[in-house]
């Protein structure tokens, strides 16, 4: 059995208390420039009105207090970013992101620990992944240091929206998009880096219970030579039809196969896939179609330390039905067991993971 104990020595886990938050807010206010609105430690919002919402949280956007915005310079660097009140942003009708899909997203979480401190996990990994994706999409990107500072500033300014440890988490969504106007198929002349946050609960309606999935035979989430291995914004609209059909038929999610042989496992809609057989954990090998998930990377490191053999390889779909355990992982879903798999109209019950996924947020 694969038993997750999250502990990392070669990574950064940001943890800050309310006193740090207040100090950080004051520093932001003191260094205000370039017209950005800055958060202060006494924004006079009603905490009671927020507290009442925790029990009704779902995975839907909630209007919070502040967003972070930073624009690119002519040389491709980013500077003069800062916080501003949550609200709409201006964008040209001929913006590259609207007309040609030149955009990248990231996502991560902020958790509140039992002692009240707020934790961010492996933020620098998200910053690095955005830079890799931006290079593929002919976009400049903030440095990793700028990315980390922007995330921590945005979470700090929206501290009151971080749910208690047993009520959910703060979803953090960085975006990088071509905002400058274009007509020809060329990179945008200007780019915007933006972060918004929203309190959410579980990605699936069933919470952390085992999910039932269907294997998709016709629609593919990525093709060789495409952008399936980065978080390009256009990757997700193409699978909405398969996702909607699956939901209508009572499934939790869709598992996609490769576009060449229609046989090898790729990913779920928003998560990587793992199968466990005896002492071996297998997952599709990274390449031009598989997203390098940060949770995926962490699980592989944990598995190695627990003595498992880890195989990153082509995984035929038929191995799902001979596995001891099948599970998915990703920022939004965390780590979830798969309870049943349906292929070509026939359902198979899997022996799902027995470790307590509900403890994972506290360990992150």
pLDDT tens digits for 245-286?
999 999 999 999 999 999 999 999 999 999 999 999 999 999
pLDDT score at 349:
83
Of the candidates 118, 109, 106, which has an alpha carbon nearest to the alpha carbon of residue 142?
A: 106
DSSP assignment of 107-146 equals -EEEEE-TTS-EEEE-HHHHHHHHHHHHHHTT-----HHH
- Reported as a pLDDT band with limits 50, 70 and 90, residue 209 is confident
- The model's confidence at residue 41, banded by pLDDT at 50, 70 and 90, is very low
Tell me, what's the pLDDT at 55? Answer: 83
Reduce the DSSP state of residue 340 to 3 states and report it: strand
Q: Quick one: pLDDT band at residue 175, thresholds 50, 70, 90?
A: very high
β-pair partners for 118: 16, 112
pLDDT band at 25 (very low <50, low <70, confident <90, very high): very low
Per-residue burial over 71-98, b = 16 or more CB atoms within 10 Å of its CB, e = otherwise: bbeeeeebeebbbbebeeeeebeebbbb
pLDDT of residue 254: 98
Q: Which of 63, 74, 114, 231 is catalytic?
A: 231
Average pLDDT, the chain: 86
- State yes or no: pLDDT of 36 exceeds 50: no
d(CA 309, CA 300): 9
* DSSP state for residue 353 in the 8-state scheme: -
272 CB contacts (<8 Å, ≥6 apart)?
A: 283, 284, 290, 291, 293, 295, 296, 328, 329, 330
Residue 272, strand partner residues:
329
Tell me the per-residue pLDDT of 276-304, one tens digit each, with 9 for 90 and over: 999 999 999 998 899 999 999 999 999 99
Rounded-to-integer distance, Cα 125 and Cα 68, Å: 19
Residue 34 confidence (pLDDT) above 50: no
Domains of the chain: 60-201 (3.30.470.10), 211-359 (3.20.10.10)
Q: Does 231 qualify as catalytic in the annotation?
A: yes
C-alpha to C-alpha distance for 324 and 33, rounded to whole angstroms: 57
Q: Which pLDDT score is estimated for 255?
A: 98
pTM over 0.75: yes
Assign 245 to helix, strand or coil.
Answer: helix
Q: Is the model's pLDDT at 107 over the cut of 60?
A: yes
Instruction: Quickly count: other Cβ atoms within 10 Å of residue 340's Cβ.
Output: 17
Q: Is the pLDDT at 30 greater than 70, yes or no? A: no
| H-assigned helices in 59-103 | 96-99
**DSSP letter for each residue of 286-301:** PSSSS---HHHHHHHH
Instruction: Report the DSSP pairing between strands 211-216 and 253-257.
Output: parallel
Indicate whether 19 pLDDT > 60.
no
Query: How large a percentage of the chain has pLDDT more than 90?
Result: 73
3-class DSSP state of 39? coil
What are the backbone dihedrals phi and psi of residue 39, each rounded to the nearest 5 degrees, phi first? -75, 150
């Amino acid at each position: 059995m694969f038993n997750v104990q999250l502990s990392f020595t070669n990574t950064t886990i940001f943890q800050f208390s309310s006193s740090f938050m207040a100090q950080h807010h004051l520093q932001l206010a003191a260094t205000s420039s370039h017209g950005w609105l800055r958060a202060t430690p006494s924004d006079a919002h009603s905490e009671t009105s927020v507290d009442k919402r925790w029990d009704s949280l779902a995975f839907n956007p909630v209007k919070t207090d502040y967003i972070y915005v930073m624009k690119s310079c002519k040389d491709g660097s980013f500077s003069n970013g800062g916080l501003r009140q949550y609200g709409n942003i201006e964008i040209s009708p001929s913006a590259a992101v609207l007309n040609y899909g030149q955009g990248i997203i990231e996502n991560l979480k902020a958790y509140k620990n039992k002692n009240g401190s707020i934790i961010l996990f492996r933020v620098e990994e998200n910053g690095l992944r955005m830079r890799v994706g931006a290079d593929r999409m002919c976009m400049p990107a903030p440095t990793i240091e700028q990315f980390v500072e922007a995330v921590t500033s945005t979470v700090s300014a929206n501290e009151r929206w971080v749910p208690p440890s047993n009520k959910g988490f703060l979803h953090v969504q960085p975006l990088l998009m071509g905002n400058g106007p274009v007509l020809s198929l060329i990179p945008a002349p200007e780019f915007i880096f933006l972060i918004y946050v929203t309190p959410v609960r579980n990605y699936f309606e069933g919470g952390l219970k085992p999910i039932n999935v269907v294997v998709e035979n016709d629609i593919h989430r990525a093709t060789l030579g495409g952008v399936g291995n980065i978080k390009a914004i256009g990757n997700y609209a193409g699978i909405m039809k398969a996702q909607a059909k699956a939901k209508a038929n009572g499934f939790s999610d869709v598992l996609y196969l490769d576009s060449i042989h229609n046989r090898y496992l790729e990913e779920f809609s928003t998560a990587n896939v793992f199968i466990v057989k005896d002492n071996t954990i297998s997952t599709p090998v990274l390449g031009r179609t598989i997203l390098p998930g940060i949770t995926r990377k962490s699980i592989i490191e944990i598995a190695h330390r627990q003595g498992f053999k880890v195989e990153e390889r082509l995984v035929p779909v038929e191995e799902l039905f001979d596995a001891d355990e099948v599970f998915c992982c990703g920022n939004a879903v965390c780590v979830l067991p798969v309870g049943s798999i349906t292929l070509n109209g026939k359902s198979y019950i899997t022996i799902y993971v027995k470790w307590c996924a509900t403890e994972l947020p506290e360990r992150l």
